[in-house]
């Protein structure tokens, strides 16, 4: 393939777009990790549920796309809070406070992933469903490559969601309490914060973000029961690359993963597209285990 | 104000406290003294609700608080000042202080109280935009005390405010605690620094192996040779144990 600057630019734009979506899912994983001390392996399935819920709301019920997205986010947040209350809380509690000792939680997460996937299979079947949305914007043409409007919209909406979340966490009282709970639950309790309630809130928030990602990716690809698995892996890679628990880290990690895999697919081999994210993950773990923006935990014993 | 009757508590099956009786009168300063691993911190956590009460009862301000959740106990006006290493290092000084006022909804008064804390600890005002993880040990101790004050407590419980601080800083911290008690806040102070704590408190309890060994007025305890022996005996034995392990 001849080198051509225009197509390079287009590939980078594709990468950034999908990358911000990885970023918002990664942010949810990272939020749950700091709030509940667990890596939530069923988060990809929440993303898949979000995509299906968005599809049902907009195509079958006929709610306009933005409304369908907000609806899917709310429903996914409720689903997530239900799962956390009913299944995860018992396990996180048994470890003494909310810290988890052992593998129980990880296995429960994997089990939840399979269970959710099969529930979705029972409801919607195994076929890939198209999610056509007319955004009323012309595709952006760069040389011979046209970038569909759904990509542009995705990038803008994802960045807005991140901005809102950043504002919420940094400048509101509730956001301050969320950060306190994420950092240390015992101290948060002593500040008078209702910690169990906030853990539910954090879980719901993370699930709403995943659902937003699902509704954004739906129109780009299609909606399918098994779409969650790869998203989980990519988002996990993004969270680790950026540094677990860091909000700008999740965004930049996502964008890096997105660009890396698009350039790899374009210039090395398209059939191995999914390798590149993990290659990046391995490289970062080898040379900077705390991630690009991760702060090495300063623990004074 | 705080009444602890025959309290047993611990972690899971491990019982740490075995029948504690302790009483803090309104407006008073009471010290709880003991070496490492004697149950001091467990008692504080039990009062705060972080560790469940197995037997016995705790009454604060006329209400039974044993069995309540920690955040409910804070709302009733009983606030624990955490150990100094337990500030939120990734938050600024001001964010830490505002977190202390989390339970309050009177936001204009909260601003005024923030000013009051800054007047109390001027160094915190200078460093209010700084991440608290970068503060010195003495400054963090002032921060956690200030954070406790932001909750507008009826009673403060302090967990080893002198730990790991230089003697001059300890003196400053203790004089601030004295000033706080003069404003009418009831204080329970947990300490290993017996001399400083007995200077501040009117009454003291000495805890060892989860039971109260000795109690009495501060003056009596200062002059009681057995206090020195039992207390130092405990800490020396513990130091030896930790050296051997």
As beta bridge partners, residue B212 has B207
The dotted CATH code for B2-77+153-244 is 3.40.50.300
| Domain presence at residue A88 | yes
A133 closest CA partner among A155, A151, A121: A151
pLDDT at A97: 38
Residues 6+ apart with CB under 8 A from A217: A18, A21, A51, A154, A227, A231
The span from the CA of A35 to the CA of A107, in Å, is: 18
- What was the pLDDT predicted at A185? 85
B187 and B155 in contact (C-beta within 8 Å)? yes
Residue pLDDT, tens place only, B105-148: 888 899 999 999 999 999 999 998 999 888 988 899 999 999 99
pLDDT band at residue A297 under the 50/70/90 scheme = very low
B interface test, pick of A171, A177, A192, A248 with most B CB neighbours within 10 Å: A192
- Taking 70 as the threshold, does the pLDDT of residue A299 lie above it? no
Domain that holds residue A111: 5-124+141-287
Question: Which tokens in the block code for residue A276?
Answer: 């590149």
Q: What share of chain A has pLDDT > 90, as a percent?
A: 42
Nearest to B98 among A96, A176, A194 (CB): A176
Scanning A171-210 for CB atoms below 8 A from B yields 173, 176-177, 179-180, 183-184, 186-187, 189-195
Residue A139 confidence (pLDDT) above 80: no
Q: What is the tally of structural domains in chain A?
A: 1
B133 part of contact set with chain A, CB < 8 Å: yes
The string of pLDDT tens digits covering residues A57-116 is: 998 898 998 999 999 999 999 999 999 898 888 776 654 334 555 577 778 888 999 999
Beta carbons of B88 and A187 less than 8 Å apart: yes
pLDDT tens per residue across span A205-218:
999 999 999 999 98
What the block records as the tokens of A1 is 């393939």
pLDDT of B193 over the 90 cut:
no
Is B71 touching A (CB cutoff 8 A)?
yes
Residue A300 placed within a domain:
no
Radius of gyration of chain A from its Cα atoms, rounded to whole angstroms: 19
Nearest-10 crossing angle of helices A5-36, A227-242: 90
CATH number at residue A269: 1.10.3470
Q: For chain B, which residues make up each domain, given as ranges?
A: 2-77+153-244, 87-152
The predicted structure's pLDDT at residue A117: 93
CA distance B69 to chain A (A): 9
Chain A residue whose CA is closest to B103: A192
Separation CA A71–CA A46 (nearest Å): 14
Residue B63 phi, psi dihedral angles, 5° rounding: -125, 145
């Amino acid at each position: 393939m001849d080198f051509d600057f225009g197509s390079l630019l287009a590939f980078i734009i594709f990468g950034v777009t999908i990358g911000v979506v990885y970023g918002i899912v990664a942010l949810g994983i990272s939020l749950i990790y700091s709030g509940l001390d667990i890596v939530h392996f069923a988060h990809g399935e929440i993303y898949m549920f979000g995509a299906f819920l968005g599809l049902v709301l907009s195509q079958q019920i006929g709610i306009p796309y933005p409304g369908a997205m907000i609806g899917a986010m709310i429903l996914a947040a409720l689903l997530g809070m239900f799962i956390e209350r009913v299944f995860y809380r018992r396990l996180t509690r048994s470890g003494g406070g909310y810290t988890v000792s052992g593998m129980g939680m990880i296995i429960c997460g994997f089990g939840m992933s399979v269970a959710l996937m099969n529930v979705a299979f029972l409801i919607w079947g195994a076929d890939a469903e198209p999610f056509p949305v007319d955004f009323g914007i012309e595709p952006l043409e760069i040389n011979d490559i046209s970038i569909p409007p759904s990509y542009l919209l995705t990038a803008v909406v994802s960045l807005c969601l991140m901005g809102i979340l950043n504002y919420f966490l940094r400048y509101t009282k509730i956001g301050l309490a969320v950060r306190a709970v994420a950092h240390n639950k015992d101290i948060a309790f002593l500040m008078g914060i209702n910690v169990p309630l906030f853990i539910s809130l954090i879980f719901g928030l993370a699930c709403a973000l995943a659902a937003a990602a699902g509704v954004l990716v739906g129109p780009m690809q299609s909606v399918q029961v098994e779409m969650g698995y790869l998203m989980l892996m990519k988002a996990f890679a993004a969270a680790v690359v950026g540094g677990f628990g860091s909000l700008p880290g999740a965004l930049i990690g996502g964008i890096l993963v997105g660009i890396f895999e698009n350039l790899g697919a374009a210039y090395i081999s398209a059939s191995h597209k999914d390798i590149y994210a993990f290659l990046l993950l391995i490289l970062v773990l080898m040379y900077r285990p705390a991630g690009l923006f991760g702060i090495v935990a300063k623990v004074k014993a | 104000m705080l009444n602890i009757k025959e309290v047993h508590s611990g972690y899971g099956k491990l019982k740490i406290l075995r029948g504690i009786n302790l009483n803090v009168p309104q407006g008073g300063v009471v010290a709880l003294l003991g070496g490492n691993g004697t149950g001091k911190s467990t008692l504080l956590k039990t009062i705060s609700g972080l560790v469940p009460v197995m037997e016995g009862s705790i009454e604060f301000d006329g209400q039974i608080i044993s069995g309540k959740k920690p955040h409910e106990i804070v709302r009733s006006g009983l606030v624990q000042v955490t150990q100094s290493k337990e500030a939120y290092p990734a938050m600024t000084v001001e964010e830490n202080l505002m977190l202390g006022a989390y339970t309050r909804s009177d936001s204009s008064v909260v601003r005024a109280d923030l000013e009051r804390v800054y007047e109390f600890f001027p160094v915190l005002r200078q460093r209010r935009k700084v991440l608290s993880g970068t503060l010195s040990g003495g400054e963090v101790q002032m921060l956690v005390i200030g954070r406790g004050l932001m909750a507008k407590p009826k009673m403060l419980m302090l967990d080893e405010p002198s730990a790991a601080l230089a003697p001059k800083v300890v003196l400053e911290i203790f004089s601030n605690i004295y000033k706080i008690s003069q404003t009418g806040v009831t204080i329970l102070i947990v300490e290993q620094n017996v001399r400083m704590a007995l200077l501040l408190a009117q009454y003291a309890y000495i805890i060892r192996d989860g039971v109260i060994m000795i109690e009495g007025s501060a003056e009596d305890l200062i002059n009681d040779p057995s206090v020195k022996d039992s207390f130092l005996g405990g800490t020396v034995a513990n130091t030896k144990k930790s050296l051997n392990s």
